[in-house]
Amino acid sequence: MEIQDKMIEATKEIFSSMVMMEVSVNKIMEEHGPLTDTITGMIGLAGTHKGILAVHFPYSVAMAITSSFLMMDVEEVNEDVHDAVGEIANMLGGNVKTILSEKGRDIDLSLPSTISGSQYNFQSDKQVEKVIIEFGTGNGTFMVEMDLET
Amino acid sequence: MGENVLLVDDSSTMRKIVGRSLRQAGLDFDNIFEAADGVEALEVLESESVDIVLSDINMPNMDGISFLREKSTRDGIKDIPVFMISTETGDDIIGEAKSLGAIGAMKKPFTPDKVNEVLGPLM
């Protein structure tokens, strides 16, 4: 299965089983512009495959997702939102690792981290192959991005 | 059920969701203790009565594998069963966890039905 298809499958599974939200693919992209009022969760891969798996949520989508995830009202981008976004990146990273490494010891995952801001660029200074998938929710769109060193 | 469970995960979101999934699966506990890493988990095990531990693997300070290794050296707590709940479900990692005493593993993400199916028989 292509990594792109697995990323789509994993994202849909995470959202339907744990966030209690259905998501659909809007489009596949190779680039995206500066991120605005967004929170990014990311996890690094090291070993036979090196790169980063990231999820980019506009604030409004991140709050809606966290609210659904935790079954409580969320009205600001607080610690819960950062934690939830980091955990979504962590679960996606684990799934991607499973595709790239059957045994599990030839690729190491970093701990998840998050960044957020009113406007920032998310890009690698290495030569990478990018897969970016935009998903739609009832509350807006978000992106899942995989950058693997070539 | 008259049992106490310890949830070990660096994500507070995930600890809440695992606790909620246990309740949704009909697996009620007298007490649900929480720890953010292996170091905190060992402290809880040394100070509270815990019947089963549900632990992540990929955590800061002391990860799930190191936690199992350290726990296995402590007489008072080494026999408390540990079940792994993690995104890390490769054969090598789960094999290592089981060699250190883990009684099983479940992959994130999961549904309450899966929690009931996998953990129900253990509790």
The predicted complex's ipTM stands at 0.88
In angstroms and rounded to an integer, the radius of gyration of the C-alpha atoms of chain A is: 14
Per-residue pLDDT band at B121 (split at 50, 70, 90): confident
Cα–Cα distances in angstroms (integers) from residue A9 to residues A16, A18, A43, A54, A70, in the given order:
11, 14, 18, 16, 22
Q: Domain extents for chain B? A: 4-111
Q: Which amino acid is at A28?
A: I
Pairwise pLDDT comparison (B114 vs A104), residue with the higher score: B114
Structurally, how many domains does chain A consist of? 1
DSSP letter string, A38-54: EEEEEEEEEESS-EEEE
Q: Over pLDDT 90: what percentage of chain B?
A: 72
Average the pLDDT over A109-137 and give the result.
94
Q: 3.10.20.30, 3.90.950.20, 3.40.50.2300, 3.30.200.20: which CATH number matches B4-111?
A: 3.40.50.2300
Q: Does B23 touch chain A (CB under 8 A)?
A: no
* Chain A residue whose CA is closest to B88: A94
Nearest to A147 by CA among A105, A107, A96, A101: A96
* Chain B residue whose CA is closest to A81: B13
Residue B2, pLDDT score: 61
> What is the spatial distance between Cα A121 and Cα A116, in angstroms, rounded to a whole number?
11
Cα–Cα distances in angstroms (integers) from residue B46 to residues A6, A51, A58, A97, in the given order:
42, 39, 43, 34
Give the torsion through C-alpha atoms of B7, A85, A97, B59, to 10 deg: -40
Q: What CATH number is associated with residue A95?
A: 3.40.1550.10
Q: Does B61 touch chain A (CB under 8 A)?
A: no
Reported as a single tens digit per residue, the pLDDT across B9-24 is 999 999 999 998 888 8
Question: Which residues, numbered 19 to 38 in chain A, qualify as contacts with chain B under a Cβ-Cβ cut-off of 8 Å?
Answer: none
| Interchain contact, B92 vs A105, CB within 8 Å | yes
Residue B56, pLDDT score: 96
With a CB cutoff of 8 Å and minimum separation 6, the contacts of B74 are B42, B45, B46
Per-residue pLDDT band at B1 (split at 50, 70, 90): very low
Residue A104, pLDDT score: 60
Check the CA dihedral A72-B5-B112-A136 and report its sign: positive
Most B-contacting residue of A39, A71, A105, A113 (CB-CB within 10 A), to test interface? A105
Residue A126, pLDDT score: 83
Per-residue pLDDT band at B27 (split at 50, 70, 90): confident
Nearest to A81 by CA among A130, A19, A27, A35: A19
Whether pLDDT at B69 is above 80? yes
Alpha helices in A15-136 (DSSP H): 59-70, 79-100
Cross-chain CB nearest to A13 (options B16, B58, B109): B109
Whether pLDDT at A102 is above 70? no
- Mean pLDDT rounded to a whole number for chain B: 92
- Mean pLDDT rounded to a whole number for chain A: 93
Q: Does B11 touch chain A (CB under 8 A)?
A: yes
> What is the spatial distance between Cα A10 and Cα B42, in angstroms, rounded to a whole number?
33
Check the CA dihedral A59-A112-A136-A75 and report its sign: negative
Residue B52, pLDDT score: 95
Q: Does A80 touch chain B (CB under 8 A)?
A: yes
Reported as a single tens digit per residue, the pLDDT across A74-100 is 999 999 999 999 999 999 999 888 888
* DSSP element (H, E) containing A137: strand A128-137
Domain that holds residue A64: 3-149
In angstroms and rounded to an integer, the radius of gyration of the C-alpha atoms of chain B is: 13
| Interchain contact, A83 vs B12, CB within 8 Å | yes
- Chain A residues lying within 8 Å of B90, measured CB to CB: 97-98, 101-105
